[in-house]
Structure 1
Amino acid sequence: CHIGSIEIGKQADLICVDLAALETQPLHHVLSQLIYSAGRHQVTDVWIAGKPKLVQRELIDMDTAALVANARQWRERIRTVRA
């Protein structure tokens, strides 16, 4: 089985969250801060199935220009349907 624990060779989805931001201060209870105060802008790193996807707040294996172009195409399709 390749899930269930964090070990070399296993798949894992993990995130790192920067808890030094003003909105998470003062830090008394980490879990409470993550649930009630932290937001997506504080996520610094992401691993999906053990592979890095976001490193120091930068997407590393996605074509962001293509994502933006795709979003704009969908915007135009939605506008056409609504018209």
Structure 2
Amino acid sequence: MNFAKEDKGFVIRWMDRQFATDDTFPAVCCRTHKGKKTVSRDHVLAYREWSALGHKRSQIQAWIDRWLDDEEVQMLKQALKDQSQPRREVG
């Protein structure tokens, strides 16, 4: 997934928020146990790799390509689109 240089900070914050709020992020790392999604060793590996990134855009893009599934990529793209639209003031 490609994103603009000026969106790098947003992408980093989005990823950090996903890890903080979703125990099964990224979804490709999940396994199903007794009908519930649980994390696997790959989840820990994905988090370690994310935490160790130098946060160059090329590194982030490579991490996204490796770890995020299509649905998560679409969620990120939508979040980028939503944050880039000008906000209208109410009232």
Fold conserved between structures, TM > 0.5: no
Name the TM tier (shorter chain): under 0.3
- TM-score, with normalisation over the residues of structure 1? 0.27
- TM-score, with normalisation over the residues of structure 2? 0.25
More helix by share: 2
More strand by share: 1
Q: Which has the higher contact order (CA 8 A, sep 6+)?
A: 2
